Structure 1
Amino acid sequence: MESKKCFCDTGLLFENCCGLYLKNNQKAPTALALMRSRYSAYATYNADYLLETTYVSERQYYSEAEILKWATSNKWQKLEILSFTENTVEFKAYFLDANQKPQTDYEFSTFKFEDNTWYYLDGKFE
């Protein structure tokens, strides 16, 4: 199998970066690593991972079908980390929409650490 750079733009190979969490069932060690892996999950259409890494009380607001529709209707181009703390990540995700028009998604995400696991809690969007 061909080795490819990770979708999250660390410069590492996917198998040594987000692939550890998406394919090898390892837990992301930080909120930043979880956020990067969630971006890669969108790029690889892994709705199960996105739901599993969303905080339990927030999962009711998402569905696998909606996640897959959003993920597959866009061509993911680049992830830019603007800032981060222990439990927040500010980023821009660049993608081409269904009409191949360039788009930028800005988000300030909050994460929660519980039972030795990081979860996506919520985000503020622009």
Structure 2
Amino acid sequence: MSRRTQRPARPAAPTSCPCGLSAAYAECCGRFHSGAAAAPTAEALMRSRFSAFAVQDGPYLLRTWHPDTRPASIDFDPGMRWTRLEILDTADGSAFHATGTVTFRAHYTHGPETGSMHEQSRFSRVDGAWVYVDAV
């Protein structure tokens, strides 16, 4: 998940949600991406950010990045395809918390190669909205 400048053209929005839940993209992460709703938990934000990488929605990624750690821009690798998300663990991050962590494995293909990235992400609330802080 690269942090460079945004690529101008994005892939078409998928029918099913890339985050792995059974809902259609428009009813799942698509509503967060469009701004129609805000992610209610740290896990929902993690899923929506994975989906944003999958559909190359740089503005959403920047909007949901903590101001203290947010990069100036995002550049997507044209050969990278994020294919599947596994949520391995969550700690806090509910409507009753100010912070939370989500441990996940994100699967990808890059050209002919397949792989995965394992990370524990930290989230916090800024003005009531969940934002990604960093990885530990």
In the alignment, which residue of structure 2 is the partner of 1:112?
124
Unmatched 5+ stretches in structure 1: none
Cα distance change of structure 1 residues 79 and 3 upon mapping to structure 2, 3 Å threshold? closer
CA-based RMSD: 1.6
**Higher-helix-fraction structure:** 1
Q: Per-residue displacement from partner, 1:30-85 (whole Å, max 9, x unpaired)?
A: 111100000000011111111110000111xx242xx3324x33111100000112
* Aligned partner (choices 46, 50, 63) of residue 35 of structure 1: 46
Deviating runs (4+, > 2 A) in structure 1? 67-70
Q: Distance in 2 between matches of 1:55 and 1:42?
A: 17
Say if 2:58 is the partner of 1:47.
yes
Unmatched 5+ stretches in structure 2: 1-12, 94-99
In the alignment, which residue of structure 2 is the partner of 1:78?
84
Aligned length: 117
TM-score when normalising by structure 2? 0.80
Report the identity percentage.
Answer: 34
TM-score when normalising by structure 1? 0.86
